[in-house]
């Protein structure tokens, strides 16, 4: 929980229209912070606006909107306690079949946009000795089949977080990574729809190679999401990273995330490949033969 001296400090949360971002905005506002909640559309702003939550129109890939956010923070007499880089987009397709424009878009939203917002707000965070909370994923440690673009950006975000932490720790700014597993949000639903749209654009040869894999991955994603954390539970982990006086450098959110993170530290790549393949195999369409047999 926050102390009385922390109340009414500013928090910036990107991607706050739904899911973890919206839940984190509500939780931190409840704890006494004034939350600048980044949303992309006016109707999303109307939906989240409430006591302690001030919506800000923000597409993190739009330099003018990022600059406007920085100006909003700079002109507020309250200190900026934390930036929560939460905005993201789910992109799932085989490496061979994902168009380069989609690769670039995935990195623009899931990596470069976060860097742009961080650069814009670091002067305020340096003045307040605040912190940066980067929302990564178990995909930032393990890249499953069809997750190349998404995991690639998250792996990069993990590396940037490490570098930034070592740069600004001597200046009093803390950098924390939150790594959720399956979370029941709209992002996964949109991700499955996007994966099906991309799959429909594959060539016949690509469809023969990867069609069943995409179906299995979508089924696994839906299953993991349905059994995952609620957005409110994930938001409590984010709030802990924001408010704990001496936070860890990384927090997992969900039992699946904690398990996978432990496995990555003790298993060889080949062993992990086999475990992932066995787990995916049961989600293949009936009669389909997985390309990877483990």
Which pLDDT value is given to residue 54?
A: 98
Determine whether 150 is an active site residue.
Answer: yes
Whole-model pTM: value is: 0.91
- How distant, in Å, are the alpha carbons of 90, 158, 202, 222, 253 from that of 85? 15, 12, 32, 24, 16
- How distant, in Å, are the alpha carbons of 107, 229, 291, 292 from that of 202? 21, 33, 17, 20
Which pLDDT value is given to residue 190?
A: 83
- Per-domain boundaries in the chain: 4-184+230-257
- How distant, in Å, are the alpha carbons of 72, 120, 257 from that of 117? 13, 5, 26
CATH number of 4-184+230-257: 3.40.50.720
The model's confidence at residue 3, banded by pLDDT at 50, 70 and 90, is: very low
Pick the catalytic residue: 150, 210, 251, 284? 150
By the 8 A CB rule, do 61 and 113 touch? Answer: yes
Half-sphere exposure of 161 (CA within 13 A, CB side): 29
Mean pLDDT value across the chain: 92
């Amino acid at each position: 929980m926050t102390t009385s001296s922390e109340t009414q400090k500013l928090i910036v949360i990107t991607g706050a229209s739904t899911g973890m971002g919206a839940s984190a905005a509500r939780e931190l506002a409840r704890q006494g912070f004034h939350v600048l909640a980044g949303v992309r559309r006016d109707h999303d702003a109307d939906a989240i606006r409430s006591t302690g939550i001030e919506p800000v129109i923000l597409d993190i890939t739009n330099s003018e909107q990022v600059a406007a956010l920085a100006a909003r923070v700079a002109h507020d007499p309250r200190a900026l306690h934390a930036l929560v880089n939460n905005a993201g987009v789910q992109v799932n397709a085989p490496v061979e079949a994902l168009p380069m424009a989609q690769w670039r878009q995935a990195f623009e939203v899931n990596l470069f946009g976060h860097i742009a917002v961080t650069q814009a707000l670091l002067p305020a965070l340096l003045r307040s000795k605040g912190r940066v909370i980067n929302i990564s994923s178990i995909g930032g440690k393990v890249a499953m089949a069809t997750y190349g673009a998404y995991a690639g950006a998250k792996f990069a975000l993990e590396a940037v977080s490490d570098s930034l932490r070592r740069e600004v720790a001597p200046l009093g700014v803390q950098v924390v990574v939150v790594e959720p597993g399956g979370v029941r949000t709209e992002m996964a639903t949109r991700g499955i729809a996007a994966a099906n749209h991309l799959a429909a654009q594959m060539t016949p040869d690509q469809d023969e190679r990867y069609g069943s894999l995409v179906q299995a991955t979508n089924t696994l994603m839906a299953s993991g999401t349905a059994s995952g954390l609620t957005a409110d539970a994930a938001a409590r982990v984010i709030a802990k990273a924001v408010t704990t006086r001496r936070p860890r450098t990384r927090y997992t959110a969900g039992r699946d995330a904690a398990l996978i993170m432990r496995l990555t530290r003790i298993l060889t790549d080949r062993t992990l490949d086999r475990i992932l393949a066995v787990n995916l195999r049961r989600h293949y369409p009936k009669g389909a033969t997985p390309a990877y047999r483990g």
